[in-house]
Structure 1
Amino acid sequence: MTGTEPVEEADGHDALVGFLDGLTRLLLGTSGEGAEQVERSVTAAARGLGGTASVAVLPDAATVAVTSHGRSSAIVVRGFPEVFRMDRVVALKPLLDEVTAGRLDVRGASARLATITRAAPPYPWWAKLLGVVLFSVGFAPLMQPTWYEVGSTAVLATLSACLAVAADRLPRLAKVLPLVAAVTVSLLALEVFARSPAHGGPVLLMLPALFFFVPGDYLSAAAAELAAGHLTTGAVRLVYAVALLVQLYVGVILGLVITGRPRQDLFDVAAGADLPRWVLFASWIVFTVGALLAFAVPARLLGMLLVLVYLTVGVQTGFTKLLGDVGGTFTAAVVLGAVTTWLARRPGRPPRLVLVLPGFFTLTVGSLGMRGLTALAGGYAIEGFRDLTELVTLVTAIGVGLLLGAVLAQRPADSV
């Protein structure tokens, strides 16, 4: 043994710990699929680099115990969960594939990871602003298939998009962004657009513009984690999702108070449809393009995401006619989970989280929570409790459906 070997072993262990620290932080920040994916990726990466790792995950933190080169270390990593930089998730998958296969050493892997972490967003700020608007406008016909809904959403969503882009540069605004967005949209909707019952309920006019902030992804990830046995992570994520919904609800109520409108004005009745069928069909293209820009998904994936969105919508629509809302939503979630899992496991394909994201949003589970809360606030107890009950049912259906789809499509040697 030479005198340099202990130093080299120490350096190797420290390099591995540093890489797993950065990897875990990035995974936590994009943990839309839940704790299982973080744990699996970190342990596989450690094994590919000649070490072992044990991971305990919470939604915003993880403890990683690392053993390599005859040494052991434990680190605590923190990262706030969000889904706004999918370009990093796409870039991370080939890196993890190479590391797991043993084709990269720890220094090369660390350099690649640093490049991914420091990379600028793939689109300029104005493209994200446009993306949030298109995302909302494409979703609007699902609330009310009327030209008025589409037009009012374009205006209200532009306001929301400006706030979302500003929050990227103002950390203080980011902490209260759902509340500020809900107050602003509520004020403008009540004062300008919700002046006549003929245009539908005020909340139906507000919801598409606030859809970007509705935590439907957190709700379904929490349901999937609870179903998979990750009780602590699922419970914490569920509480956080509910807190975000309450922020949106309080913002709408504050808008009502400021404008002096009675709470009974928060009725939830849709206006008569006047959109032709081709607009309803084309709205999903607008929606998917908006999602791609808003969540920084690489443009080359647009075609694949469109196919998955129309597949999800088609399955949900067809099976809803046969099995009702819950059965249709559950079946669509199973199909989406199975197809995206099968696609993601193939070499060179994007990760499952990116593939599932736009299709998941078509299931619209998060909007029911705010509709239920605002209906209760307006004194419509039956409608409010009905929406909240449906929310709980559909959250579970989507979360468990995605989990079941992943189980059906996995390789025999894998675990979900």
Structure 2
Amino acid sequence: MQEATDRIQFLARLGAAMASASYPVTFIRQTLERVSAGYGQHNEVVALPNNVQVVGPTFREGTPVASASVGSALRFDQTFPLAQLVTRTIEGRVSPADGQRDLNRIVARRRPYPAWVTVIGYGVFSAGLALVMEPTVINLVAATVLGFMVGVMWTVTERVPALAPVTPVLAAVLVAGLCIVGAQYLSLDHVGLRALIPPLAVFLPGLAITVSVIELAAGDVISGASRLVAGFMQLAQLTFGIFIASHMLGFDDAQLTSQAVNKLGPWAPWLGVGVFVVGIMLFLAPPLAFLPWLAVLAYTAYVAQYLGDLLLGGYTSGFFGALALTVAALLIARRRDSPPAVAMVVPGFWLLVPGSLGLIGVAELFGADGDSALPATLISMIAIAFGVQAGLVIWQLIRRRRPRH
């Protein structure tokens, strides 16, 4: 019984670590059940976003039960060794004792770069998105400077987790307020909502909403519904911050526009994708070997999104971008020297504009376009999630035709 207890304790903790890395609970449960079968025992697994419980087989001495609470979210650089541990565990190459030690090392892993590199990385990240969304000189400068500011706030929040609940609202108030003050100083008659998005992109809940849709489709209603509500709550926090800043400074809601402007040329968004990739490497600090894969995936997602925009418009273009991103990530992940698929997909969400357009739509609820804003918001935020789901379905069909040897 002691051996079975050690196994389920490791599995519960592994599942909690996967939940901290935003794995869907459906995948967590399937993974732990598969590993249990490899151990030659049947375990009941209950996976929720905040807790994972594993119930072992019944012995004369009783039934071992292990439960692990999900702690703070893992950093992006920590998801790489975690994914490798998950793969080795599925393949039966990790003992419970070794697995526990690996988990301890992953949790204790320090950020590869100092805090100032993270701040610079987020400024570059924000500049790249500004070139993609609204390439103008003013917007590029503002996005870079405000990106540095939000990067500082992000690093402080990592050191003081108690600030996490208020950071999105505070960041939205400061970013919107500074943009409005700057527009008034330059005698501009409006502030483009697209100019507010790049510095705030890290707070957009695209990944949470996508995971929630996957879980709801798989029948995990409790987990899916809770993530969906949490995602829209985070979106509402950003919107509330913009709303507060505009009214504190006496800025008319009608002066917040979402019209796209490009004063640099058609080449700017394509350059922006490359700048975005560099920013991700500095901000999220993945292994250097991740750089070529990230570049391939970023441009794949952007090209698919661009073509989708030509076919069906901006709000649904994220479906095509997410579909291409998912299939490409799963295809590349088949190579032994490539990163795990889940790690490759995460940065791509920040390039899929519907997540940002969702914020624009909600912000317009306070202006004259409120009648059409809510449906547009729902479509833009859900389109990316269904794109990922469609990519998973297509991948399953591909695997059935070409089984892996």
TM over 0.5: yes
Q: Tell me the SS of whatever aligns to 2:92.
A: coil
Root-mean-square deviation (CA, aligned residues, Å) is 2.7
Contact 2:326–2:392 (8 Å) recurs in 1: yes
Q: CA deviation at 1:74?
A: 2.5
Give secondary structure in 1 for the equivalent of 2:267. Answer: helix
The answer on 1:357 being equivalent to 2:324 is no
1:25 Cα deviation from its structure 2 partner: 1.9
**CA-CA distance at 1:163 after TM superposition:** 0.5
* Cα 1:46–1:372 shift into 2, 3 Å: same
Secondary structure of the corresponding residue to residue 168 of structure 1: helix
CA contact (8 A) 2:113 2:285 kept: yes
Over 3 Å counting, the alpha-carbon distance change for 1:402 and 1:180 in structure 2 is: farther
Please report how far the alpha carbon of residue 85 of structure 1 lies from its aligned counterpart in structure 2 after TM superposition.
1.5
Partner of 1:76: 67
1:298 is the counterpart of 2:282: no
State whether residues 354 and 381 of structure 2, in contact with CA within 8 Å, keep that contact through their aligned partners in structure 1: no
- What's 1:336 paired with? 325
Partner SS, residue 45 of structure 2:
strand
C-alpha distance in 1 between matches for 2:348 and 2:376: 22
1:101/1:223 Cα in 2 relative to 1: closer, same or farther (>3 Å)? closer
Amino acid at match of 1:13: A
Q: Report Cα offsets for 1:268-326 as digits up to 9, x if no partner.
A: 3344x211333322211111122233333212101111011111212222343345446
Counterpart pick for 1:29 among 20, 28, 32: 20
Query: Retained in 2: the 8 A contact 1:312–1:336?
Result: yes
2:98 to 96, 104, 108: 108
Question: In the alignment, which residue of structure 2 is the partner of 1:3?
Answer: none
Indicate yes or no: 2:396 matched with 1:403: no
2:195 matches 1:205: yes
Query: Given that residues 318 and 384 in structure 2 are in contact (C-alpha distance below 8 angstroms), is that contact kept between their aligned partners in structure 1?
Result: no
| Pair 1:142-2:141 in alignment | no
Q: CA deviation at 1:17?
A: 3.0
Matched position secondary structure for 1:56? strand
Cα distance in 1 for residues equivalent to 2:35 and 2:401: 20
- Where in structure 2 are there 5+ consecutive unaligned residues? none
CA deviations on 1:102-130 (whole Å, 9 max, x unpaired) are 23322222222222221112222122212
Per the alignment, residue 64 of structure 1 pairs with 54
Equivalent residue pairs, number:
402
Partner of 1:168: 158
Residue number in structure 1 paired with 2:336: 347
Asked if the contact 2:19/2:50 (under 8 Å) is kept, the reply is yes
Match of 1:121 among 107, 111, 117: 111
Using the TM superposition, name which of 369-378 and 389-398 deviates more.
Answer: 389-398
Q: Is the 8 A contact 2:358 2:378 kept in 1?
A: no
When structure 1 is superposed on structure 2, of 168-177 and 193-202 the one drifting more is 193-202
Deviation of the 1:409 alpha carbon? 4.1
Distance 2:333 2:96 in 1: 25
Q: In structure 1, how many angstroms separate the alpha carbons of the residues matched to 2:63 and 2:257? A: 60
| TM-superposed deviation, 1:194 | 5.6
Amino acid at match of 2:140: V
Give how far 1:97 is off. Answer: 2.7
The 1:389/1:46 distance shift into structure 2, 3 A limit, reads: closer
1:348 CA drift (Å): 4.1
Residues 158-185 of structure 1: per-residue CA shift (max 9 Å, x gap): 1111110100111221122111111121
TM-score normalised per structure 2: 0.89
Matched, 1:230 2:220: yes
2:8 matches 1:17: yes
**Alpha-carbon offset, residue 241 of structure 1:** 0.2
Matched residue, 1:375: 364
**Residue number in structure 2 paired with 1:6:** none
CA distance in 2, matches of 1:209, 1:279: 18
Give SS of 2:122's match: helix
Partners of 1:333 and 1:405 within 8 A in 2? no
Structure 1 residues 152-210: Cα deviation after superposition (integer angstroms, max 9, x where no partner): 11111111111101001112211221111111212211112465685853422211111
Cα drift, residue 393 of structure 1: 5.1
Matched, 1:286 2:278: no
Task: Report the CA distance between 1:28 and its aligned residue.
Answer: 1.0
Q: Structure 1 residues 365, 73: CA separation in 2 closer, same or farther (over 3 Å shift)?
A: farther
- Which amino acid counterpart does residue 20 of structure 1 have in structure 2? L
Q: Specify the code of the residue in structure 1 equivalent to 2:330.
A: T
Q: Which residue is 2:37 aligned to?
A: 47
**Structure 1 unaligned blocks of 5 or more:** 1-8
2:134 and 2:347 mapped to 1: Cα distance?
20
Partner of 2:300: 311
Q: Residue 5 of structure 1 aligns with which residue?
A: none
1:334 maps to a residue whose letter is L
> Contact 2:8/2:56 (CA < 8 Å) preserved in 1?
yes
| Cα distance in structure 1, aligned partners of 2:383 and 2:107 | 35
Q: Distance in 2 between matches of 1:290 and 1:331?
A: 24
